A and B are shown apart, each in its own frame.
Chain A
Amino acid sequence: MEVGYPVLSVIIFVPIVGGALMTLIPRYMEGLLKVVALVITLATFVLSLPLFTHFDKSTHMMQFVERKEWISQFGIQYYVGVDGISVLLILLSAITGILCVLISWNAIREKVKEFYIAILLIEGAMIGVFASLDFFLFYIFWEAMLIPMYLIIGVWGGPRRVYAAIKFFLYTLIGSVLMLVGIIVLYKKAGTFNVLQMHDLHLPYRVQMWLFWAFLAAFAVKVPMWPVHTWLPDAHTEAPTAGSVILAAILIKMGAYGFLRFMLPILPDATKDMIPLLMGLSVVAIIYGAVVCLAQTDLKRLIAYSSVSHMGFVTLGIFALNQQGLEGGILQMINHGIVTGALFLCVGIVYERTHSRQIADYGGLASVMPVYAGFFMLFTLASIGLPGLNGFIGEFLILLGAFKAKTLAAVLAATGIIIGAAYMLWLYQRVFFNEVNEKIRNLEPMEFKEAITLLILAIFVLWIGVYPNTFLSFMHPSVSHLLEQIQRATPEAAVAVNMTTEPQGIIGLLGSSGGL
């Protein structure tokens, strides 16, 4: 691991400092602003590559660790590092940054300077979120990301942007406040903000349960899990393309990441007891999200609801609490980022030309923009889990893991795959097939920049589909270690487990072990 610079700090602060320096460029030099933003994101990506090439896949230990005293009287440190759970998300963030700059090149015409600064700040903050091993630092990045995101929706968004932005802000803020309370309680118990030390805390069961609800509120809103998902369709729909891509690719992954990094290892006993609830909510999200997609008439809204369904798969895999489920869940986070990000990019490309998101305004697009249609088809197929493409690998591992954990949950979740094919192919038919809609007969073909952004993602779709081990191999030791952490229940908790009554109703049904 001989990299000549502190990789994580560099990739966190290159975009942030770069964004700050961009304030010095006069706002009328829009071309320069764009080029500088592109160079910064490209540099960030290149500088992040050692995470991929120099990562030691044989250990669960944190790597690329940097640790400095920061606010020592409160035990707050600047403490960053990556393991197999976070490293791929950081790489995905770095790639997403580039795509966002490219896709906004022509789309953003007002307040160009502020837009790119916001994008860069988000990029730095989201890398920071995934790299932080100090809870305080994590919280700073978590919140720091919220504000520019709010601005991107509220300033550069569609007609109902203000409503969407406020809704987004309120939802996530309420979650954040509860998380803040949770962090403070944890600090009082542990006497440190060091996340890894908190992993060994062995909290009493009752405390775990209270903290569980606080963290669940924070992370479930971000994922979003059913029924706190309703901010997502509005935020996605109103956000500019780059905003939708960041939301889909990274921001909603922060919730699932929170489950993996904090909830499971710090509160293992409480979480284990609530598995029936969590898996039940995941299954509801999968089916509910898919069914709602059938009713959508707006392109972006449909893809947004499909995110609810796909993130249901992610959480289902995570809460299966076995190797395949967890690895599938983590891989599906990456897959969903790539595919849904790509679908939003695709919608952005035609939106720039037609300024309509209504499915009914399209039709026969395959004749007008054939290359674009080919890319869209690829991402559609990846989204519905065609084997050989990335979505399948994640979904299959998740279903396998869930089948082992709670068979009924897997069976019900698998119905989501049928509905998934129905709504995506119906969407594709309405947009690309049938007779050419007169409104779109003269659309310009794809530009080079647009094609490149899609090509980058298409390569990953195929790569993960054909040879997923490149990516799965990062996860094995970290996921095994996480499972070990969950398995060791505290004696006190074991008693509490016996005392809890059997859960009832549909959730109980999902949770009942034994049988098929």
Chain B
Amino acid sequence: MEYVLWIPLLPLIAFWVNILLGKGVLRGQAHWPSVLAVGGSMVLAVRVLFDVIHGQTMNQDIYTWILSDNFRVSVGFLIDQLTAVMLIVVTTVSFLVHVYSIGYMHGDKGYPRYFAYLSLFTFSMLMLVMSNNFLQLYFGWEAVGLCSYLLIGYWYEKRSASDAGKKAFIVNRFGDFGFGLGVILIFVTFGSLHYMPVFERAPEFISRTVNIYGLEVNLITLIALLLFCGAVGKSAQLPLHVWLPDAMEGPTPVSALIHAATMVTAGVFMVARCSPIYDLSPTAMAVVAVVGGVTALFAATIALVQNDIKRVIAYSTISQLGYMFLACGVGAYSAGIFHLYTHAYFKALLFLCAGSVMHAMAGELDMQKMGGLKRYMPVTYWTMLVASLSISGIPGLAGFFSKDEILFSAYAAGGVGRVVWVLGTLAALLTAFYSFRLIYLTFHGEFRGTEEQRHHLHESPPVMTVPLILLCIGAVGAGWVGIPEILGGKNHFGEFLSPVLRHPHYEVSHAEEWMTMALSVTVAVVGIVVATVFYIKDTSIPVRLARRFPFIYRVLWNKYYVDEFYNLIVVRPTLFVANSIIEGFTDRKVIEGIVNGLPAFVGWLGAQMRKVQNGVLQHYGMIMATGVFVILALLLVKVLGG
């Protein structure tokens, strides 16, 4: 399977071609190297899938990256079932987003730069999912974060865009702080950073504890939680979710690729990849499940009241990522990955549809200024409608199967699982509601924008609509590989992943399985019906509700004031300490004062020197010679004396 090397290599080559030749030579044709490269990677990824289906896996080092005493880590690839799924997700969505971008970014002055970044992102993401060790994972982890930073701030002349990029990077660094320490702790514990030896030896350490200033902590739990810190940052979970909504400043295809389908799911992938570690720590699992469940509900409530079309979808992404963690936390890793895979298609589709709307509305994001677009852009409308049905969990569509499996697994797992099942089911209700609120506000009713905007309304060109249609096929059919048995299907997806991801067996009756499924379908339908009543039948209801409950409305509108809170307790105190205490007082006054002894003496010497310093270099030469002479003389005297 040596050809797998080309999967990340092709986008890397495309990156360098675009960086070196993009501006001068390729210009408007800069999409060619990137699209061809990711297309090639996609074809190879399909080949990998078939090879893996036929039982071929691979774990091979390419070269030794860092070697220092007993520390040795390689660049290498692990190709197994989980990798194969991730490769398909990453390359297909990436390819479609590349194609869509040709239309969306047409005429932008940074066109070659855009495609260079996309290629670099694809390369990094592929390195991340194909890695066979923690350090290369960390490389991919940080590199996708870099691409995210570069692409969020792609329109860097806009203050809000450059702010958002910076925020994304720094917030992620907080998570990576834990992740990095986790990686180091893994090496210190296991003496290796390669997955296989670590996973094989993990059970030996199950009862080992470490003492942190009097507190006995289970070593495996500590490792798992440190790694999870990174996932919380990268996958925008509570409390580090604040960067993702702001990340919507980037071009919309980027939001679809990076901030919905691929990069933000890296945290879920990492937890699933490390399932042999997580499985050993019930505590860490419970934390993962609760963080996921709470985030799923929390983000969904915010999405209820936002008017920015992309931010609604962003909060929806945070919420759906919560579902994936919820699944992993209850031990249903393959359900989590299943949702990762279906979500990639329907969420990328939602974003690209939003991009298509923005394209028609000259960049407008406020849904209150849209309405009635159905007539003007039928392809966008119908594909987005399908995506919304899919995310709401309407039976038959991709989102239904994966979400149902997650909720059922949570219920069946019992314990903490029951709690997060309630959270997840509530979030499902809200999901259906806000998804259809978005549809109705955008596409139904009367157009509420300006006359000029109305004049320009149009469907997007085929280079954009064809990817929408293809993703729509995914949003419908992606779930058919995992149909639950009670519906007469077979969970091929979970079975395929079973060599990597443990498949839990539950002691629950069919009746209970029907019950959870019926409940999740019911809440989806209720959500849609309520949205229809609110935004089609009687549009005064939302306004009246907001007036009736102004406090709740304000809290949700302001996203629970989390940003303001961080500003108050992290950003401003840090800058205050930096400006007034450390730089202004300690460095200027205390240390300068003490260490200089007599700062005035320096000033005086300076004044003396200024007289000498008339630009006559001979003086300096003389001082230099005198200095050397004095030093030598001193030494000789001392030596002779000794």
User: Is A426 located at the chain interface by the 8 A CB criterion?
Assistant: yes
Cβ–Cβ contact B628 & A147, under 8 A: yes
In the complex, the chain A residue whose C-beta lies closest to that of B23 is A370
* Chain A residues within 8 Å of B169, by CB: 421, 425
Cβ–Cβ contact B602 & A167, under 8 A: yes
* Chain A residues within 8 Å of B623, by CB: 147
Q: Which of A245-259 contact B (CB under 8 A)?
A: none
* Chain A residues within 8 Å of B146, by CB: 381, 386
Given the known inter-chain contacts A139-B635, A292-B582, A366-B156, please indicate yes or no for A515 contacting B211, CB distance below 8 A.
yes
User: Is A485 located at the chain interface by the 8 A CB criterion?
Assistant: no
Given the known inter-chain contacts A400-B71, A421-B169, A429-B162, please indicate yes or no for A184 contacting B639, CB distance below 8 A.
yes
* Chain B residues within 8 Å of A296, by CB: 583
In the complex, the chain A residue whose C-beta lies closest to that of B583 is A295
Cβ–Cβ contact A294 & B575, under 8 A: yes
* Chain A residues within 8 Å of B170, by CB: 418, 421-422, 425
User: Is A34 located at the chain interface by the 8 A CB criterion?
Assistant: no
User: Is A508 located at the chain interface by the 8 A CB criterion?
Assistant: no
User: Is A504 located at the chain interface by the 8 A CB criterion?
Assistant: no
User: Is A388 located at the chain interface by the 8 A CB criterion?
Assistant: yes
4 A-B pairs besides A110-B615, A294-B574, A421-B169 with CB distance below 8 A are A170-B605, A187-B639, A410-B184, A480-B69
Cβ–Cβ contact B66 & A469, under 8 A: yes
Report A236-275 CB contacts with B as 1/0, cut-off 8 Å. 0000000000000000000000000000000000000000
User: Is B293 located at the chain interface by the 8 A CB criterion?
Assistant: no
B: which residues have CB within 8 A of A? Answer: 19, 23, 63-71, 135, 138-139, 141-143, 146, 149, 153, 156-159, 161-163, 166, 169-170, 173-174, 177, 180-181, 184-185, 187-188, 210-213, 217, 574-575, 577-579, 582-584, 587, 591-592, 594-596, 602-603, 605-606, 609-610, 613, 615, 617, 620, 623-624, 627-628, 631-632, 634-636, 638-639, 642
In the complex, the chain A residue whose C-beta lies closest to that of B638 is A184
Given the known inter-chain contacts A292-B578, A418-B174, A425-B166, please indicate yes or no for A162 contacting B613, CB distance below 8 A.
yes
Cβ–Cβ contact B143 & A386, under 8 A: yes
CB distance from A147 to the nearest CB of B (A): 4
Q: Which 8 residue pairs are nearest across A and B when measured between Cβ atoms?
A: A323-B69, A433-B162, A294-B578, A295-B583, A387-B139, A433-B156, A295-B578, A147-B624
Cβ–Cβ contact A386 & B142, under 8 A: yes
CB distance from A171 to the nearest CB of B (A): 8
In the complex, the chain A residue whose C-beta lies closest to that of B127 is A388
A435 to B158, CA, bound (A): 7
Would you mind naming 25 contact pairs between A and B with Cβ atoms under 8 Å apart?
Answer: A74-B636, A140-B632, A147-B623, A151-B624, A155-B615, A163-B602, A167-B602, A230-B587, A230-B591, A230-B592, A230-B595, A292-B583, A294-B575, A295-B575, A327-B69, A370-B23, A387-B135, A400-B71, A400-B188, A414-B181, A425-B149, A433-B153, A434-B158, A435-B157, A466-B65
> Which of A162, A466, A468 is most buried by chain B, counting CB atoms within 10 A of its CB?
A162
Given the known inter-chain contacts A295-B579, A387-B138, please indicate yes or no for A399 contacting B166, CB distance below 8 A.
no
User: Is A144 located at the chain interface by the 8 A CB criterion?
Assistant: yes
A245 to B635, CA, bound (A): 31
* Chain B residues within 8 Å of A31, by CB: none
A292 to B187, CA, bound (A): 33
User: Is A432 located at the chain interface by the 8 A CB criterion?
Assistant: yes
A65 to B158, CA, bound (A): 59
Cβ–Cβ contact A292 & B166, under 8 A: no
Cβ–Cβ contact A111 & B159, under 8 A: no
User: Is A178 located at the chain interface by the 8 A CB criterion?
Assistant: no
In the complex, the chain B residue whose C-beta lies closest to that of A181 is B638
User: Is A42 located at the chain interface by the 8 A CB criterion?
Assistant: no
User: Is A99 located at the chain interface by the 8 A CB criterion?
Assistant: no
Report A400-443 CB contacts with B as 1/0, cut-off 8 Å. 10011000001100110111011001100100111110000000
User: Is A84 located at the chain interface by the 8 A CB criterion?
Assistant: no
CB distance from A501 to the nearest CB of B (A): 21
CB distance from A348 to the nearest CB of B (A): 22
Contact for B627 among A143, A392, A435, CB less than 8 A: A143
User: Is A227 located at the chain interface by the 8 A CB criterion?
Assistant: yes
Contact for A180 among B142, B157, B177, B635, CB less than 8 A: B635
Contact for A516 among B166, B211, B592, CB less than 8 A: B211
A144 to B575, CA, bound (A): 41
* Chain B residues within 8 Å of A414, by CB: 177, 180-181
CB distance from B293 to the nearest CB of A (A): 28
* Chain B residues within 8 Å of A140, by CB: 632
Cβ–Cβ contact A515 & B184, under 8 A: no
Given the known inter-chain contacts A162-B606, A417-B173, please indicate yes or no for A404 contacting B162, CB distance below 8 A.
no
Given the known inter-chain contacts A468-B65, A516-B211, please indicate yes or no for A387 contacting B143, CB distance below 8 A.
yes
* Chain A residues within 8 Å of B188, by CB: 400, 403-404
A400 to B181, CA, bound (A): 9
Contact for B68 among A364, A472, A514, A516, CB less than 8 A: A472
Cβ–Cβ contact B620 & A74, under 8 A: no
Q: Which of A345-397 contact B (CB under 8 A)?
A: 364, 366-367, 370, 374, 381, 386-388, 392-393, 396-397
Contact for B71 among A139, A324, A392, CB less than 8 A: A324
> Which of B68, B631, B632 is most buried by chain A, counting CB atoms within 10 A of its CB?
B68
CB distance from A69 to the nearest CB of B (A): 16
A432 to B161, CA, bound (A): 13
Cβ–Cβ contact A434 & B156, under 8 A: yes
Contact for A515 among B210, B594, B606, CB less than 8 A: B210
CB distance from B148 to the nearest CB of A (A): 13
Cβ–Cβ contact B180 & A399, under 8 A: yes
In the complex, the chain A residue whose C-beta lies closest to that of B588 is A230
Cβ–Cβ contact B638 & A364, under 8 A: no
Q: Which of A128-172 contact B (CB under 8 A)?
A: 136, 139-140, 143-144, 147-148, 151, 154-155, 162-163, 165-167, 170
Report A284-307 CB contacts with B as 1/0, cut-off 8 Å. 000010011111100000000000
Cβ–Cβ contact B578 & A291, under 8 A: yes
> Which of B19, B157, B579, B610 is most buried by chain A, counting CB atoms within 10 A of its CB?
B157
User: Is A68 located at the chain interface by the 8 A CB criterion?
Assistant: no
* Chain B residues within 8 Å of A136, by CB: 635
Report A504-515 CB contacts with B as 1/0, cut-off 8 Å. 000000000011
CB distance from B455 to the nearest CB of A (A): 30
Cβ–Cβ contact B578 & A415, under 8 A: no
Cβ–Cβ contact B138 & A469, under 8 A: no
User: Is A328 located at the chain interface by the 8 A CB criterion?
Assistant: yes
A285 to B174, CA, bound (A): 20
CB distance from A22 to the nearest CB of B (A): 14
Given the known inter-chain contacts A291-B578, A294-B574, please indicate yes or no for A516 contacting B157, CB distance below 8 A.
no
* Chain B residues within 8 Å of A74, by CB: 636, 639
* Chain B residues within 8 Å of A364, by CB: 156-157
CB distance from B30 to the nearest CB of A (A): 14
CB distance from B541 to the nearest CB of A (A): 42
Given the known inter-chain contacts A184-B642, A227-B591, A515-B210, please indicate yes or no for A162 contacting B610, CB distance below 8 A.
yes
A151 to B613, CA, bound (A): 10
CB distance from B211 to the nearest CB of A (A): 5
CB distance from A405 to the nearest CB of B (A): 11
CB distance from A174 to the nearest CB of B (A): 10
A165 to B610, CA, bound (A): 11
CB distance from A440 to the nearest CB of B (A): 13
A414 to B182, CA, bound (A): 12
Cβ–Cβ contact A435 & B159, under 8 A: yes
CB distance from A375 to the nearest CB of B (A): 12
A397 to B71, CA, bound (A): 9
CB distance from A306 to the nearest CB of B (A): 13
CB distance from A156 to the nearest CB of B (A): 11
Cβ–Cβ contact A403 & B184, under 8 A: yes
CB distance from A149 to the nearest CB of B (A): 11
In the complex, the chain A residue whose C-beta lies closest to that of B575 is A294
* Chain A residues within 8 Å of B156, by CB: 364, 366, 432-434
* Chain B residues within 8 Å of A404, by CB: 188
CB distance from A431 to the nearest CB of B (A): 11
In the complex, the chain B residue whose C-beta lies closest to that of A469 is B67
Given the known inter-chain contacts A162-B609, A184-B642, A435-B157, please indicate yes or no for A170 contacting B602, CB distance below 8 A.
yes
